[in-house]
């Protein structure tokens, strides 16, 4: 692969949707800078290289300002054509029961690191007059997340942030796309401690399909895409019209501990 190939940066690329996004970019001829926090990143980089991709792996904990700085520094002097700010974690459970440190960790990664990274990357893109920014939002952004409140609020932030930037940057040559997956088969729910919930235990969307649709959306410069199965798209459409109170009740039924199929029998 030569240096004239386009370059994509993907955060949270060691697994799940981020890895599938990296595969999409690689499959379409992009060089890659990929990031995650732990050593699974090297394994992901090897898999992508084995498939022929030109990959640079940058391990950095994006919850830490120094981790964001390290990742930004790793792209200094490179023209990032697409930046996919995807790293994110959840935290299930009643707000009064969860550890404050875990709640704040969700904010630090999903919200603070997104802002920290977007600033220098977008400044460079605007200076060049070209670039594409892709934010991993969620259909959770549209629902008050009873029993996952900080996570849903963090995705509402990402969604609002992306839409505001779309307006600010519309005449700059830089496009901003947010995509909204529904429940997707990744490590997300296990890591969020939600294996005993209905949403954590039900059938979910294929991350490869989600990433394919997200890739298409960002390359077409679309502003927003609900990605995944028809069921997810239907849920996204319903979320646009349902009252917030009703959505909070529905979310409780999916996310309250003990709602797993075969759990305590709650609906």
Binding site for ligand NAP (CB under 6 A): 12-18, 35-38, 40, 61-63, 86-89, 109, 136, 138, 181, 183-184, 186-188, 191
Instruction: Return the number of the residue (38 or 99) whose C-beta is nearest ligand NAP.
Output: 38
Handedness of CA 139, 142, 148, 153 (dihedral sign): positive
- Min dist CB 15 to ligand NAP, Å, is 4
Instruction: Return the number of the residue (66 or 171) whose C-beta is nearest ligand NAP.
Output: 66
Catalytic residue among 135, 151, 157, 215: 151
Angle between helices 40-50 and 16-27 (to 10 degrees): 30
Instruction: Return the number of the residue (36 or 165) whose C-beta is nearest ligand NAP.
Output: 36
Q: How far is CA 218 from CA 8, 14, 145, 227, 235, in A?
A: 12, 20, 27, 12, 22
- Min dist CB 188 to ligand NAP, Å, is 3
Residues 239/254, Cβ–Cβ less than 8 Å: no
Question: Catalytic residue at 151?
Answer: yes
66 Cβ contact partners less than 8 Å away, ≥ 6 residues apart = none
Instruction: Return the number of the residue (181 or 236) whose C-beta is nearest ligand NAP.
Output: 181
- Min dist CB 126 to ligand NAP, Å, is 24
Distance, CA of 45 to CA of 148 (rounded, Å): 31
SS3 assignment, position 214: helix
- Min dist CB 136 to ligand NAP, Å, is 4
The number of CA neighbours under 13 Å toward the Cβ of 78 is 22
Active site residues: 151
């Amino acid at each position: 692969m030569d240096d004239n190939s386009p370059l994509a940066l993907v955060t949270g690329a060691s697994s799940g949707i981020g890895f599938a996004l990296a595969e999409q970019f690689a499959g379409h001829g992009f060089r890659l800078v990929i990031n995650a926090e732990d050593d699974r990143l090297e394994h992901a980089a090897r898999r992508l290289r084995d498939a022929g991709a030109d990959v640079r792996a940058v391990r950095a904990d994006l919850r830490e300002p120094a981790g964001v700085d390290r990742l930004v520094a790793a792209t200094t002097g490179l023209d990032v054509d697409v930046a996919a700010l995807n790293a994110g974690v959840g935290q299930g459970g009643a707000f009064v029961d969860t550890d404050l440190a875990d709640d704040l960790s969700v904010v630090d990664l999903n919200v603070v690191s997104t802002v920290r990274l977007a600033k220098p990357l977008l400044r460079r893109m605007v200076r060049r007059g070209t670039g594409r920014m892709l934010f991993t939002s969620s259909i959770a952004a549209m629902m008050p997340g009873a029993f996952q409140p900080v996570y849903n609020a963090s995705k509402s932030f990402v969604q609002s942030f992306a839409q505001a930037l779309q307006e600010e940057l519309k005449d700059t040559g830089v496009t901003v796309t947010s995509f909204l997956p529904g429940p997707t088969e990744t490590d997300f729910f296990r890591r969020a401690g939600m294996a005993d919930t209905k949403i954590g235990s039900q059938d979910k969307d294929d991350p490869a399909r989600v990433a394919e649709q997200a890739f298409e959306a960002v390359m077409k410069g679309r502003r927003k895409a609900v990605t995944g199965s028809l069921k997810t798209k239907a849920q996204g459409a319903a979320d646009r019209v349902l009252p917030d109170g009703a959505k909070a009740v529905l979310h409780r039924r999916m996310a309250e501990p003990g709602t797993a199929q075969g759990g305590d029998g709650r609906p």
